[in-house]
Structure 1
Amino acid sequence: MTTHLNHSAPKAETNDQQGSGFEELVPSRYAVRVGEIDVLVISDGVLPLPTSTMSTNADPAARAAWFKDMFLGPDAFDWALNVLVVRSGEQVILVDAGLGGQFPGFPRAGQFPKRLAGAGIELEAVTDVIITHMHMDHIGGLLVDEVKNRLRPDVRIHVAATEVAFWESPDFTQTEMPSPVPDVLRSTANEFMAIYGDKVRTFENEYEVAPGVVAKLTGGHTPGHCVVYVNSGGERLTFAGDALFPVAFEHPDWHNGFEHDPEESVRVRVRLMQEAVASGELFVATHLPFPSVGRVKVDGDAFRWVAAFWDF
C-alpha cells in the first residue's frame, strides 16, 4: 500500500496518482498513517435506504427535522458504505468487504474491488480479512467471482465466534428492516459460511490479528459485532463498523432498524464515543459519510463529529 504521509494527518488520493489507468471523477479512498501502520478507507459506494430505518424509535417530526437539517431525505437517503485496508508489517488486512454487485436495487454499491485495484492493491496480497459482522453489506463483496477467485488459498478470515453461532439461527424479532431483507441476510450468511467456513478463524472476546491490529467483540448491532482498533506509536484509530450511524452523535438513543438488540446497541455506541472523546483518537465507521475519518467531541448533552482536515 503506497502512502507518503506525515505521522498524524489523513490524506486523500486520486485514482490516477497510482498510475493504474483507472480514473474516477472523485477520490474513492483515503489514506491515514497510524504510527507505523498504514490504513486506507475505501468507499464501496452507497445504499439507498428509507430515512425511517435510521431512527425507528424517534418521533417522526424529530426525524424529519434532523434529515432536513442535514439536507437529506425526507423519505430516503444514500447511506455510505466504507471498508478498510490495513497494512501492519507483512500482513495486509481487509476489514469488511462491502456489498458486492449481486443484489438488485443497489447499483451504486459493490465498488470496492475496482477501487482496491485503483489503489494499486492486489486481492492476492490480502493475508487476513476481519468481518465486523455478517450482514450482507459487509460480507457480500467476498461472494463475487472477481474476489473469491483471487483471494489466496491461505487467507485467514476472522469473525467473532458469537457471530458465527448467531447466524446458524438468527433472531430478527427486534429489527425493523425492509421486508425482503431478513431472508437475503440469512441466505448471504449461509453462502458466506459455505464458501469460507474452512478459512474462518473465530475468536471469543478479542484477537490481535497483526501487531497493533485488534478485533474486539462489542455485540449490540448483532450479537457478534466487533470493532477494530489500530494502535501504533502512541496513536489509535477505531473502526466502529455498524456500532453507530450519522444520527448517533446528536441522538445516540435512536435505534437503527438493522440492530438485532437496539438497547444494547445504544450502550455500545455511547461507550465507544466516550472512549473516543477521552483518547482523541481517529474514528471511522462503515456508514458515516466517506471518508469517515474524524474525531468525537462532547457537545453539551450530546456528542459532536469533527471531520478530519483533508491534508493533501
Structure 2
Amino acid sequence: MESLKVGELTIHWLNGGVTHMDGGAMFGVVPKPLWSKKYAVNELNQIELRTDPLFFRYQGKNVLIESGIGKGKLNEKQKRNYGVHEESSIEASLEKLGMTPADIDIILMTHMHFDHACGLTRYEGEKLTAVFPNAVVYTSKVEWDEMREPNIRSRNTYWKENWESISHQVRTFDDELEVLPGLRMVHTGGHSDGHSIIVLEHEGETFIHMADIMPTHAHKNPLWVLAYDDYPMTSIKAKDKWINQAIENEYWFLFYHDAVYRALKWNRDGEIIDEVPRMLTGSPSEGGHL
C-alpha cells in the first residue's frame, strides 16, 4: 500500500480494483503516436486505469476520496467490456490500517460514474446496502441530480444500484464547499456536468485531486481531454486554470486512476520534482507497454 506523508498527514491508496479502457477514448482527438509515448497501451489498445480510493485522517475525521469499482457489482459482460481484471478489496486495505468501512466518516465523490461509485454499495443476498454505513457522502448538487435522473447519454454510467441505498447519506453543494478546514470541493463540470475537484491545504503544502478531467499524469496538457467528457471545452478551461496554478505553486497532484504514479509534483519546466510511484509488481512504466 503506497502512501504520501507530509507532517501529520498521511494519504494511503487503497486497493479499489482496476479497469482497462480504450486508449483512443481516454485521449480523445490526440493521435495515438503522441499519447502512447506518455502512457502504456496493450495489444487491444487498452490502457490500465486503477480505481484506487485515497484515504487519510484529517481534523479528527476518516476521509475517503472516491469508492472504487466495488465487489460483486458487475456481471461478466461488464467486466469484459470495462477490462475489470480485479475488483475492490477495500475492506482488506482498511484492515491493514486497523480500520473497517464503518470507521469512514466522510467520502468525497468528485462525480458518480460507475467506476467511482460502485464501491459505495454492496449486495447482501438480493439487497443492496451501504458499504460505509456511517459516512457522509459529498458530491455536487448537479451531479446528484443527474445521477438520479440521467439523460440518454449518461444513463449508461449512472446506475440506481449505486445511489438508492445510500441516498440518506448524501450531502450536496453548489459551487464550492469547505468540507473541513483546508479541505475543499470545487465544482468544475467538464467530464460530467457535476464533476468536481478536491483541494487540500496542509502545513504549507497543497494537494489537488483533479479526478477525471486529469485522470493520469499523461493528461497534463490541457487540450488532452477524454472522448468520454460530456463538455470537453469546459474540461479544457478548468484544466488550464488549475494545472497552471498547481504547477506554478508546486502542488501535489493526487491520482485515482493512474497506473504509474500515485502522486507527483512538476516544476515550471515540466520536470517531475517529487513523486510517489505505484510500486505493485507488474506496474507499467511511462512509455512502456502493458
Shorter chain as denominator, the TM-score bin is 0.7 to 0.9
Could you tell me which residue of structure 1 aligns to residue 138 of structure 2?
Answer: 158
TM-score scaled to structure 1, two decimals? 0.76
SS in 1 for 2:267: strand
CA-CA distance at 1:234 after TM superposition:
1.6
How do 1:235-274 and structure 2 match up within 5 A? 235-246=205-216, 247-249=218-220, 251-274=221-244
Equivalent of residue 21 in structure 2, options 17, 42, 49: 49
Is the CA contact (8 Å cut-off) linking 2:262 and 2:276 kept in structure 1? no
Equivalent of residue 218 in structure 1, options 188, 208, 214: 188
SS in 1 for 2:237: helix
User: Separation in 1 of the partners of 2:91 and 2:149?
Assistant: 30
Equivalent of residue 42 in structure 2, options 73, 78, 91: 73
Is the CA contact (8 Å cut-off) linking 1:79 and 1:287 kept in structure 2? yes
User: Separation in 2 of the partners of 1:172 and 1:232?
Assistant: 41
Could you tell me which residue of structure 2 aligns to residue 26 of structure 1?
Answer: none
CA-CA distance at 1:304 after TM superposition:
5.4
Distance 1:122 1:66, change over 3 A: same
CA-CA distance at 1:280 after TM superposition:
0.6
Equivalent of residue 91 in structure 1, options 43, 61, 65: 61
User: Separation in 1 of the partners of 2:198 and 2:256?
Assistant: 12
User: Separation in 1 of the partners of 2:13 and 2:266?
Assistant: 18
Amino acid at match of 1:263: M
Is the CA contact (8 Å cut-off) linking 1:218 and 1:224 kept in structure 2? yes
How do 1:83-232 and structure 2 match up within 5 A? 83-101=53-71, 102-103=73-74, 104=76, 105=79, 106-145=84-123, 148=129, 151-152=132-133, 154-171=134-151, 183-186=155-158, 188=159, 190-232=160-202
| Aligned residue pairs, count | 265
CA-CA distance at 1:110 after TM superposition:
2.1
User: Separation in 2 of the partners of 1:267 and 1:168?
Assistant: 27
CA-CA distance at 1:223 after TM superposition:
1.3
CA-CA distance at 1:262 after TM superposition:
1.1
Distance 1:155 1:68, change over 3 A: closer
Instruction: Extract unaligned runs of 5+ from structure 1.
Output: 1-28, 174-181
CA-CA distance at 1:241 after TM superposition:
1.4
Could you tell me which residue of structure 1 aligns to residue 287 of structure 2?
Answer: none
User: Separation in 2 of the partners of 1:257 and 1:117?
Assistant: 37
CA-CA distance at 1:305 after TM superposition:
5.1
Distance 1:306 1:53, change over 3 A: farther
Instruction: Extract unaligned runs of 5+ from structure 2.
Output: 278-290
Is the CA contact (8 Å cut-off) linking 1:46 and 1:79 kept in structure 2? yes
Is the CA contact (8 Å cut-off) linking 2:102 and 2:132 kept in structure 1? yes
Amino acid at match of 1:167: M
User: Separation in 1 of the partners of 2:112 and 2:206?
Assistant: 25
TM-score scaled to structure 2, two decimals? 0.81
User: Separation in 1 of the partners of 2:271 and 2:177?
Assistant: 30
Distance 1:194 1:121, change over 3 A: same
User: Separation in 2 of the partners of 1:245 and 1:63?
Assistant: 17
Is the CA contact (8 Å cut-off) linking 1:127 and 1:155 kept in structure 2? yes
Identity %: 20
Equivalent of residue 5 in structure 2, options 25, 30, 33: 33
User: Separation in 1 of the partners of 2:273 and 2:193?
Assistant: 29
User: Separation in 1 of the partners of 2:7 and 2:174?
Assistant: 27
CA-CA distance at 1:99 after TM superposition:
0.9
